[in-house]
Structure 1
Amino acid sequence: MPVNEELIPTGVLQPVQGTPYDFLELRTIGSGIKELQKGYDINYVRDGSNDHIKMKKTAVVKDEKSGRVMKLYTNQPSMQFNSGSQINNVKGKRGVIYKPHTGLCLQTQGFPDAVNHPNFPSQIITVEKPYKHKIHYKFTIASSDKKSDKA
């Protein structure tokens, strides 16, 4: 979801294939981050974004070192991905100092600024259209076998 200089969505939706934002295949976050001035702070549109009832796998994050895998499922039409470029010399747990891009945030949501873009799914809540935000995290340890996840 392209944004203007104030990080407000332009209303145009563009495919991510071949861009630094392309995570359609599993790859490291760092593999494309240097192509971006401030890292990742972008909203992704979920395939089937008009279906607010069905849960769909929206993100997979894998830590190569530990083998941990997190799969995120949601009924929301989009997900904001932030790579923490604004974090710099922040003291954390056990005195660890966090630098830019030492974490990530995945926030499922409706389309930002939808009220100003008629082509975006409406975020207006009514009695007939109540707000139902569902999210499910599935954590596993990666193994050498290639079993698929059917969810």
Structure 2
Amino acid sequence: MIAKPIDKATPINLAQHTYWNLGGHDSGDILNHTVQIFGSSITPVDDKLIPTGKLQSVKNTPYDFLTPKPVGSQIHDLPGLYDINYVLDKTGQNHLSKVAVVRDPVSGRKMELWSDQVGLQYYTSGMLGDTKGKGGAMYHKYGGIALETQGFPDSVNQPSFPSQIVKPGQTYKHIMVYRFTAS
């Protein structure tokens, strides 16, 4: 994604909100998908889901996906879903880092996500209601997973977060690469 402000400094923090279910269309929920997220901290939120401006380690919490584990393994230790921004760890010397790996044990499909961004919003569609989709299929709670690379949410109001202000003459660039394989 690319954006350029015309004549004023502009906060820019684009994200792609695609839902993924590696089991395929109308295959049920994603609670058995395994997820690994290369982020050792999160930006905790208040009761309105606004970041507090602090960073919190994921170690020994339900947010710890540093090693692969099923989405549903600790989801009920939370308010019923994951909807949190991870502070991504730099995983290589290149301009892109591996951000996350998702696997469906039934289909054998695997998705890797690579990006140049500092954050990843992890959302497990816990607020998704019965939504009519393709071919009349009903998409239910936990029907998909969203992995949104981004700058930190609410950066403009959090001085400790990396700035998302882009000045005229500068270009905002955001790279995401999805890599799919199957076993």
Q: Considering the TM-score relative to the shorter chain, is it more than 0.5?
A: yes
2:86 maps to a residue whose letter is Y
2:38 corresponds in structure 1 to none
2:102 maps to a residue whose letter is V
Secondary structure of the residue aligned to 1:64 is: coil
Q: Which has the higher strand share?
A: 2
Residue 6 (structure 1) aligned to one of 48, 53, 57: 48
- In the TM superposition, 1:10-89 aligns within 5 A as 10-48=52-90, 54-89=95-130
Secondary structure of the residue aligned to 2:114 is: strand
1:62 maps to a residue whose letter is R
Residue 107 (structure 1) aligned to one of 138, 148, 167: 148
Query: If the length of structure 2 is used for normalisation, what is the TM-score?
Result: 0.72
What is the alpha-carbon distance in structure 1 between the residues aligned to residue 132 and residue 165 of structure 2?
39
| Higher relative contact order (Cα pairs below 8 Å, separated by 6+ residues) | 2
2:176 maps to a residue whose letter is I
How far residue 127 of structure 1 moved from its aligned partner, in angstroms, is: 4.4
How far residue 87 of structure 1 moved from its aligned partner, in angstroms, is: 1.0
How far residue 11 of structure 1 moved from its aligned partner, in angstroms, is: 0.4
Secondary structure of the residue aligned to 1:61 is: strand
What is the alpha-carbon distance in structure 2 between the residues aligned to residue 7 and residue 59 of structure 1?
22
Query: If the length of structure 1 is used for normalisation, what is the TM-score?
Result: 0.86
Cα deviations across residues 28-74 of structure 1 (Å, max 9, x unaligned)? 000011111130110111114xxxx8210000000100111000000
1:79 maps to a residue whose letter is L
How far residue 134 of structure 1 moved from its aligned partner, in angstroms, is: 0.4
Moved over 3 A (4+): none
2:174 corresponds in structure 1 to 133
CA RMSD for the aligned pairs? 1.7
Q: How many residue pairs align between the two structures?
A: 139
Residue identity (%):
48
1:40 maps to a residue whose letter is Y
